[in-house]
Amino acid sequence: MAKNLQDYIDILNKLDFKNMYEGDFFLTWEKTPDEIKAVWTVADALRCLREQNISTRVFDSGLGISLFRDNSTRTRFSFSSACNLLGLAVQDLDEKKSQVAHGETVRETATMISFMADVIGIRDDMYIGKGNAYMHTVVDSVTQAFEDGELEQKPTLVNLQCDIDHPTQALADSLHMIHEFGGLENLKGKKIAMSWAYSPSYGKPLSVPQGIIGICSRMGMDVVLAHPEGYEVMGDVVDVAKKQAAESGGSFTITNDMKEAFKDADIVYPKSWAPFKAMEIRTDLYGKGDQAGIDALEKELLKQNAEHMDWVVDEDLMKITKNGLDTLYMHPLPADIQGISCEHGEVTADVFDRHRDEMYKEASNKPYIIAAMIFLAKFADPVAILKRLEAEGKQRLMK
């Protein structure tokens, strides 16, 4: 972060990311390594400008549309912040306040809200097989509407969390690792434990662990996915992680032993999630409107969770990691902190408190990652725009 804009420009000049122009962001593993690096680098570059009080308002007007199908604070604020940083006003599509349920198609709604939309950010992570598919339908719709001349611009999609991946989280997290380890090259051969942890609630999204193994497996890291038996994640993503690990010179293994995962780990990422299979069943039950079935499933899952209360991160567990209590601990927040927010939870308060600042820094990357995704989709020559912003040097806050 002590770098100059020129340092970031030098990096960008060596990367090929021209296909991101007028594109969308669904899944990290659909992007090339250069494209992923471009997102990290533009995120840091935008932050570098903002820290110098230089405005990065590249839009004089325009809308960022947000569509959240689940409650959200931090993702909502991250998206708002990113839009604002670039000059876009945010308009929420609140499906409850709208006529969307009225029987109209996704294509129609997507077109109707996009006449002046430059960005559409969607969070839809609840139902397996649905969220990512929905995003594709939206993108197909606005692409067609743009080609048919109904829209004057094709809004770019930012996946703010789907059933498969959580790319803004995964890239914010991996950028945090890069910062903490002083560069991507230093992460090669480092061991990360992406581990399940006990939570008294159930049904937490799979997109975080899937996103983490999806990104870390291509960074040459030794990725260990740990969870109790029965808490398997989506098989397709496991396949992606295996393939990428082989290509990147890292490794990908799965264990049902939390200690094995933590042993000598350079980074630990313990977090609760729901079994993929159970989420498939739940999606099916919701589709049928089978409330009794949903209630029964919830009971069963909570009971299953309760069998794994020992999957908690405490100081003893941290001590077996590479740097003991100081090993990089990550979490997308909010965490279930034992004794604070719940009786039994993912992590003990002493471990959490020791790493609180780092996690807040980790989170602070997200607005910049989102802004970088938008930036790379909107400009044929992002480097030229970064240079122009610095040269013009418009103050963000008047001085």
Question: CA dist 164 to 79, 100, 127, 287, Å?
Answer: 19, 25, 10, 19
End-to-end CA distance of the chain: 23
Using the minimum distance from each CB to a second copy, give the nearer residue, 214 or 332.
Answer: 332
**What's the angle, vertex CA 232, arms to CA 329 and CA 331, rounded to 5?**
20
Write down the least CB distance from residue 326 to a second copy, Å. Answer: 16
Among 14, 97, 292, 391, binds a second copy (CB under 8 A): 97
Write down the least CB distance from residue 42 to a second copy, Å. Answer: 14
Using the minimum distance from each CB to a second copy, give the nearer residue, 29 or 329.
Answer: 329
Residues numbered 319-338 forming contacts with a second copy, rule: CB under 8 A: 333-337
Write down the least CB distance from residue 243 to a second copy, Å. Answer: 34
Round the CA-based radius of gyration of the chain to a whole number and report it.
Answer: 21
Per-residue binding string, a second copy, 52-91, x by CB under 8 A, is ---xxxxxxxxx----x--xxxx-xxx-xx--xx-x-xxx
- Count Cα neighbours of 62 within 13 Å in the Cβ-side half-sphere: 22
Tokens encoding 11: 């990096």
Using the minimum distance from each CB to a second copy, give the nearer residue, 31 or 366.
Answer: 366
Residues numbered 357-386 forming contacts with a second copy, rule: CB under 8 A: 357, 360-361, 363-364, 366-367, 378-379, 385
Stretch in the footprint of a second copy (CB under 8 A) among 9-17, 97-105, 207-215, 263-271: 97-105
Determine how β-strand 191-195 pairs with β-strand 267-270: parallel
Residues numbered 151-190 forming contacts with a second copy, rule: CB under 8 A: 151-152
Write down the least CB distance from residue 331 to a second copy, Å. Answer: 11
Determine how β-strand 63-68 pairs with β-strand 117-124: parallel
Question: CA dist 95 to 36, 79, 106, 163, 355, Å?
Answer: 32, 18, 12, 19, 38
Cβ–Cβ < 8 Å for 95, 69:
yes
Q: Which DSSP letter does residue 341 get?
A: T
Partners of residue 347 on adjacent β-strands: 313, 337
How many other C-beta atoms are found inside a 10 Å radius of the C-beta of residue 185?
A: 10
Using the minimum distance from each CB to a second copy, give the nearer residue, 122 or 219.
Answer: 122
Site for a second copy contains 93 (CB under 8 A): yes
Cβ–Cβ < 8 Å for 363, 333:
yes
Write down the least CB distance from residue 38 to a second copy, Å. Answer: 18
Residues numbered 249-288 forming contacts with a second copy, rule: CB under 8 A: none
Per-residue binding string, a second copy, 112-151, x by CB under 8 A, is xx-xx-x--------------------------x--xxxx
Count the site residues for a second copy by CB under 8 A. Answer: 76
